[in-house]
């Protein structure tokens, strides 16, 4: 493969042309958005810092992150403590953990800071990829790092304090949920069963 590239960096005809007819020098080409000779556009978006060419996705370069992010820019702010660009609706409403973005996602173990997948901020302040968060909710509700609830569980806790039916006295009463058994408020029997009703799944919270 190296034999196809001349000493001046020019590419042989076997490799074909890339870009426009003036793009002959491959890696020695000065990075810019358009060709100086014919003004051919190499990318709708170009970052002169990252030397990134891409389709227009409302990208912007964040100086604090040190990389380009998919925007639009006005929808995001950079949290200096978390060291990450976050959605504007989280400004002043999330728990900061210093440099939390420099950790890997605890679900997939992939980098969060440079990922193209949006980061989801848990109430505890830890980050997961949005897709990993959605998969996690199919199995449980706890942050995999600190075990805090990963979403507001108020409605779910309320449904556990449900009406029970006593199999001994046939009475109905509302009691707090207990994993070992729920005690009838009428005859104090533990021979009870939840009376039923509509159950709320985690992804409905």
pLDDT-based confidence at residue 101 (cuts at 50, 70, 90): confident
pLDDT of residue 56: 82
Average pLDDT score over residue span 176-197: 78
pLDDT of residue 31: 67
Position with higher pLDDT, 175 vs 133: 133
Q: In whole angstroms, what is the distance from residue 78 CA to residue 97 CA?
A: 14
C-alpha 19, offset from chain centre: 34
Which of 10-14, 63-67, 105-109, 163-167 is the least confident region? 10-14
Does residue 8 have a pLDDT over 50? no
pLDDT of residue 24: 55
Summary mean pLDDT of the chain: 78
Give the CA distances from residue 181 to residues 85, 171, 176, in Å, rounded to whole numbers and listed in that order: 47, 16, 10
Average pLDDT score over residue span 181-188: 84
pLDDT of residue 26: 52
Is 37 in contact with 22 (CB distance < 8 Å)?
yes
pLDDT of residue 104: 93
pLDDT of residue 143: 93
Q: Does an H or E element contain 132, and which?
A: helix 130-136
Burial class (CB in 10 A: 0-12, 13-18, 19+), 180: exposed
pTM of the model: 0.59
Please say whether the dihedral angle defined by the alpha carbons of residues 30, 70, 19 and 17, taken in this order, is positive or negative.
positive
Position with higher pLDDT, 131 vs 30: 131
Which of 35-49, 50-64, 78-92, 143-157 is the least confident region? 35-49
Nearest to 109 by CA among 83, 139, 129, 138: 129
Nearest to 70 by CA among 111, 31, 118, 107: 118
- pLDDT tens digit string along 143-182? 999 999 998 888 877 766 667 788 888 888 887 777 778 8
């Amino acid at each position: 493969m190296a034999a196809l590239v001349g000493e001046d960096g020019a590419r042989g005809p076997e490799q074909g042309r890339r870009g426009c007819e003036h793009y002959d020098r491959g890696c020695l080409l000065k990075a810019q958005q358009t060709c100086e000779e014919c003004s051919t556009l190499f990318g709708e978006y170009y970052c002169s810092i990252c030397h990134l060419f891409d389709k227009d996705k409302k990208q912007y370069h964040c100086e604090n992150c040190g990389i380009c992010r998919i925007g639009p820019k006005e929808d995001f702010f950079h949290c200096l403590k978390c060291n990450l660009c976050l959605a504007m609706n989280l400004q002043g409403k999330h728990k900061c953990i210093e440099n939390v973005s420099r950790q890997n996602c605890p679900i997939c173990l992939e980098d969060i800071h440079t990922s193209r997948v949006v980061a989801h901020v848990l109430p505890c302040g830890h980050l997961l990829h949005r897709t990993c968060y959605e998969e996690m909710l199919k199995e449980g509700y706890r942050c995999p790092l600190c075990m805090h609830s990963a979403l507001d569980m108020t409605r779910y806790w309320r449904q556990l304090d449900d009406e029970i039916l006593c199999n001994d006295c046939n009475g109905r009463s509302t009691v707090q949920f207990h994993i070992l058994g729920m005690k009838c408020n009428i005859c104090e029997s533990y021979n009870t069963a939840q009376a039923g009703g509509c159950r709320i799944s985690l992804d409905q919270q």
